[in-house]
A and B are shown apart, each in its own frame.
Chain A
Amino acid sequence: MTASSAVIRRGTIFSIVLGLVFLAAWQWGPGLLGIPSFIIPPLSAVWHEFWRMVAVNGLMFHTGITAAEVIAGFLLGSLLGACFGYLLGMSPTAEFALSPYILGLQIAPKVAFAPLFILWMGFTVYPKILVAILIVFFPVLVNVLSAVRTVDPDLINLARAFKATRAQIFWKIEFPASLPPLFAGLRIGSTLAVVGVVVGELVGGNTGLGYLLAFGEGQANTPMVFVTILMLTVVGGIAYLAVVLLENRVLHYLPERAVTGF
């Protein structure tokens, strides 16, 4: 639903107030409640740790590595997922033959493959990208597949009655009809890509935010862990936002897009 301007204004004010209250609680709450700073470091400590990590630990370098792996894994994973989704969607036989294996792979926890990929490819960026590809692949595939399956057969018949070729039916009907579910899959994929990459980095290697996470843990440096979690959230948030912006451009014809895009 398109929110009215009054809802947007009140909602924005409420959001900002809520954010300020949260930040204040983070800064002074632990002290007031007597929680030691190695359990929950106050906001200011995390802030200082952030700048220290930028200077000493190469925080921006590691963030860049993670972001690059997320982008590569997300793009390749969604491309593969979409391609397989369309191929299976157009071939009922292939779908029937492959569906038990797809289901099996979908149930298998994808992050569990991380150690295996590291055994195969060493402490490089590739195993991390591969975990991300694997984890992004399925939601995109499943969404595209069911979208192609559920295109109104009367629409296909309409195109057929105009003597459309198979390629025309795909590009003029099936593909555009599958875009809304495809984007729903991409949104999920964009957040999952971060999970895949981080697990890969946690398991092995000495680059990326996942590595900093493990490093901070080893040092019992709680603020460092907090900073890293925040940076991961920023990376995931930017990926998600990019998908939403693209979606709003591509699916502009849909009625009443949600204002927030969520």
Chain B
Amino acid sequence: MLPVSAPGEINKQATMSDLLRLEYRNVTMRFTDQAGKSLTAVQDVSLSLRDGEVVSLIGPSGCGKSTLLNIGSGLAAPSEGAAFVDGEQVSGPNAHVAFMLQKDLLLPWRTILQNVMFGVEVQGVPPLERESRAKALLSSLHLTDFASHYPHQLSGGMRQRVALARTLAVDPTVLLLDEPFSAVDAQTRMVLQRELAQTLMREKKTALLITHDLLEAVTMSDRVLVMSRRPGRLVDELRIDLPDRHDPIARRHHARVTDYVNVLMARLGIDEHMASGAVA
């Protein structure tokens, strides 16, 4: 079993300051499609994450969740509004933000250890330090034995853990996670969710988690934000008042989890769409 190293509920409240780690102010994003028509992907989204908060973002496919993530990581500039990290406007990639996608994006020509070191290497961290950081992360994610393996020798779940280690190695204050576990099997996903939750709690990281899995949203986060279909706006916010944010498996057993999931389903209008035959 994994050691439960995260502090309890009371501690968590104490570490959560009012400092805004990540903030979107009136962000609108328009794209021009092939036909030259303008398409509004995201419409006037404002949201903020306090230090140490884990917030999930849910919404129908194509509502602009990944677009918001790209704006937060500085890979795309919004058409209107702006994103802020630690109060500073995001104007390009930024060392305080790191993202992780559904795809592990491991480089096949690098060993696991070298893959974990990729970000710190690019950022120019001295070799000895990057290696010690990477080794510490591999050990905390139970991957030490695989340090010199190549990605194709690992299972999907392990590769995703390596991707998490690579994301954490640059020591970001904000993690942007885009459906990080949606490509792994259900059991592995639960293990990975717990490892992520424990890491976020232990390292006091702030995270924005995009997911289609309502149970994942409820068990992993302090708050859940709901977006509408395109053009994506924030239509709802649900505070999850449950203990054990560091242990989603334990959280699953709370009686109110189902209530929260049902509320989210209702707010996403999943029942209606199913009735009308639309695809969510």
> Which A residues contact B (CB, under 8 angstroms)?
152, 154-155, 157-164, 168, 172-173, 176, 179, 253-255
Contact = CB atoms under 8 A, between A and B. Distances in A.
A162 B109 contact: no
Contact of A162 (B70, B108, B119, B152): B119
A157 B75 contact: yes
Given A154-B101, A162-B95, A163-B123, 9 more contacts: A152-B103, A161-B74, A161-B75, A161-B97, A162-B119, A162-B123, A163-B93, A253-B150, A254-B152
Interface size class of B (residues with CB under 8 A): 20 to 34
Q: Which of B74, B122, B150, B153 is the most central at the interface, judged by chain A CB atoms within 10 Å of its CB?
A: B122
A159 to B, nearest CB: 6
23 contacts: A154-B103, A154-B105, A155-B107, A157-B70, A157-B75, A158-B105, A159-B122, A161-B74, A161-B75, A161-B93, A161-B97, A161-B98, A161-B99, A162-B98, A162-B123, A162-B170, A163-B122, A164-B122, A172-B107, A172-B118, A179-B109, A253-B108, A253-B109
Contacts of B211: none
B71 to A, nearest CB: 12
B73 A161 contact: yes
A136 to B, nearest CB: 25
A118 to B, nearest CB: 43
B117 to A, nearest CB: 11
Contacts of B98: 161-162
A160 B74 CA distance: 9
A162 B118 contact: yes
Given A162-B118, A172-B118, A255-B152, A155 B105 contact: yes
A154 B100 CA distance: 10
A-side interface mostly: helix
Q: Which of A155, A162, A179 is the most central at the interface, judged by chain B CB atoms within 10 Å of its CB?
A: A162
Contacts of A160: 75, 93
B-side interface mostly: loop
B210 to A, nearest CB: 15
Contacts of B170: 162
B45 to A, nearest CB: 20
Nearest to B151: A253
A158 B93 CA distance: 10
Contact of A172 (B73, B97, B122): B122
Nearest 5 A/B pairs, CB to CB: A162-B122, A255-B152, A162-B119, A164-B122, A176-B109
Interface string B106-121: 0111100000001101
Contacts of B109: 176, 179, 253
A152 B105 contact: yes
Interface string B67-83: 00010011100000000
Contacts of B95: 162-163
A176 B111 CA distance: 13
Given A162-B93, A163-B93, A168 B122 contact: yes
B107 A176 contact: yes
B93 A254 contact: no
A249 to B, nearest CB: 13
Contacts of A173: 107
Given A162-B123, A164-B122, A254 B75 contact: no
A161 B101 CA distance: 12
A178 to B, nearest CB: 11
Contacts of A152: 103, 105
A179 B110 CA distance: 13
A168 B153 CA distance: 26
Contacts of A163: 93-95, 122-123
A163 B73 CA distance: 11
Interface in B260-279: none
Contacts of B152: 253-255
